Every structure is written in structure tokens, then in C-alpha cells.
Amino acid sequence: MALFANIKEKIDALKQKSLVWKIVLNKYVIATIIFLVIIGFVDRNNSIVLFKSLSTISDQNRQKLYYRNATDATTDKINQLTSNADTLEMFAREQYYFQRDSEVVYLLEFNDEK
């Protein structure tokens, strides 16, 4: 008990020296600080996990927007290809190098390496 009495005397001496120490050593302030440390860093659902989750959600929302735009562009391209035979023929010739029976197609590849 002498150990606790000695600690209590030292705490009381600090409280009498300054108003700041009196506020900091208040039992409610200490309990609040301990609570915030436990909730903020020690708990399973701490603030670090929260920030990582928010970052992941943000990345997934960006990906969702990208894929939604890509889907819309693909849908527009499909509508163009199915609505006009000339557009379909042009697409087939450009992308898949289709040719008519009487044509010869030459493919040229350029290398930019120097």
C-alpha cells in the first residue's frame, strides 16, 4: 500500500503545480484517452482498418465507373455495327483483315526502334 500512497502523493503534487496537469490527470480524461486509444488502434475495427476499407471502396468505385463507361462504349459500337452493313464490313476489314475474293491485302508493320 505504501507504493500506491507514494504514487498518489506524486500525482497530487503534480496537480497542485499546474492547471494543465490537473486537467490531464483527471480520471475522466484518462479514461477517455484510454478509450480512444483502444478504439482507434487496438480494437479489431480500428481506424487503420477503416481507412484501408475506405481506400478499397474508392478504388472499386473508380473501377466500376471505368467498366460502366467501357460497357456503354461497347454497346454503342454494337449498335453501329448491327444497324449498318457498310459499317460492319468496314469494321471486319480493319480489325480482322477480311478481304473479298478478288482482292489482295498487304499488311505493313512499322518498327519505331532505332
Mean pLDDT of 85-98: 82
- Quick: pLDDT tens for 49-74: 889 999 999 999 999 999 999 999 99
What is the structure's pLDDT at 114?
62
What is the structure's pLDDT at 55?
96
Mean pLDDT (the chain) is 84
> What count of Cα atoms within 13 Å lies in the side-chain half-sphere of residue 72?
6
Mean pLDDT of 65-90: 91
Question: Hey, what's the cell of 114?
Answer: 532505332
Residue 15 has pLDDT above 80, yes or no: no
Residue 82 has pLDDT above 70, yes or no: yes
H/E segment holding residue 2: helix 2-17
For residue 60, how many other CB atoms are within 10 A of its CB? 10
Report the predicted TM-score, pTM, of the whole model to 2 decimal places. Answer: 0.51
Overall residue count recorded for the chain in this entry = 114
- Quick: pLDDT tens for 32-51: 999 888 888 887 788 888 89
Domain residue extents for the chain: 1-43, 45-100
Residue 1 has pLDDT above 70, yes or no: no
